[in-house]
Copies of this chain bind each other. A is one copy, B any other.
Amino acid sequence: MQVGDLSTPALLVDAAQLEHNLTTMARALGERLRPHVKAHKCTALARRQAKAGSAGFTCATVREVEGMAARGLGDDLLLANEVLDATRLGRLEARVTVAVDSEATILAAAEGGVREVLIDVDVGLPRCGCAPEDAPRLARLARARGLTVRGVMGYEGHAMAVPDRALRAELTEQAMSVLLAAHREVGGEVISAGGTGTYDLNPWASEIQAGSYALMDTAYARLDLPFRPALSILATVISVSPRGHAVLDCGLKALGMDHGKPEIAGGHEVLLVSDEHITFLPAGRVRVGERLRVLPAHVDPTVAYHERMHLVDGERVIDTWEVDLRGW
């Protein structure tokens, strides 16, 4: 099948760019890489990451853990998120570790039949994570409930997208000093942290939870990273106005918009995004029926809108992968 045969909008993954990204990250981190599947929600892509050398994966939802386990990718799944109902996790034939940051989430893990946990520590990002000084108490509580505490987790998300590399490194070091102090009290072999933006600035974590590096987006592309944009949305010009603008059949329901408007390859200027349309100012002459590539600002919520992604080599569609980890 050729790219021209696809109906639009269609999610495209450039096979060579993806391969470059997977290889580059695997070379940099080796077994320290625990890829985060939330960025692509696709077990076929996760299988490529496994082939590139990763045994364990990071998930953000129970559905992602279930889907990975169902496809035989359950050797070591970390749900890097808090849950109050862990019964679906406890049922899985897979090694599942879940993040906990409170008595309630520890009890939920134990009652749900989960056996292993990480103590999630607040290292600066205002989100989940216990106060660092509370980590030892929670570890004791978890052990008293029969749970194995594998170690700690602390996501330095506030450092992740900082453009200045030196400042990003400084924020990462500060965050990790907090996490390492908690780890000394908690014990265990795992210190889980990091992401695409800090993958080479965080030597302290025993494993790095990077996800976006595989597909990338325009927001991450602004940083000084060796990963290349692999994701685009194929769209068709459905209208060209004598007023000067033109319209693509790709809109809010095909794009994560929290990081702002997408870009269009070829230097066209995006004016307006509505449910199923992008209105743009063409850089040159475009005609109705012509196809363009839209580059999303944020990969994760973009992929979550699509049922499938097409792996392409130039104009050839090599494979079509189901985005099978969507929902909750």
Contacts and interface: CB of A to CB of B under 8 A. Distances in A.
A301 interface: yes
Nearest to A253: B304
A29 to B, nearest CB: 21
Which among A38, A287, A289 has the highest number of chain B CB atoms within 10 Å?
A289
A305 B129 CA distance: 27
Interface string A80-91: 011111000000
Nearest to A155: B274
Nearest to A288: B104
A233 B275 CA distance: 20
Interface residues of A, number: 60
Interface string A256-299: 11100000000000011111110100000001110000000010
Interface stretch (A46-54, A216-224, A241-249): A241-249
Number of copies of this chain that the complex holds? 2
A288 B105 contact: yes
Interface stretch (A120-128, A143-151, A201-209): A120-128
A9 interface: yes
A33 interface: no
Given A84-B236, A252-B301, A272 B126 contact: yes
A1 B9 CA distance: 38
A157 B274 contact: yes
A101 interface: yes
Given A84-B288, A104-B289, A304-B253, A239 B327 contact: no
Contact of A271 (B9, B126, B252): B126
A131 interface: yes
Contact of A239 (B60, B101, B238, B307): B101
A121 to B, nearest CB: 11
Contact of A238 (B82, B252, B287, B328): B82
Interface string A226-245: 00000000001011111101
A87 to B, nearest CB: 10
Contact of A247 (B128, B236, B288, B300): B128
Contact of A276 (B61, B104, B298, B307): B61
Contacts of A239: 82, 101-102, 105, 127-129
A158 to B, nearest CB: 10
Given A127-B279, A275-B300, 8 more contacts: A7-B328, A82-B239, A102-B240, A122-B241, A127-B239, A131-B242, A131-B243, A307-B327
11 contacts: A82-B247, A84-B236, A84-B238, A101-B239, A122-B243, A126-B279, A127-B247, A127-B277, A128-B239, A128-B247, A252-B256
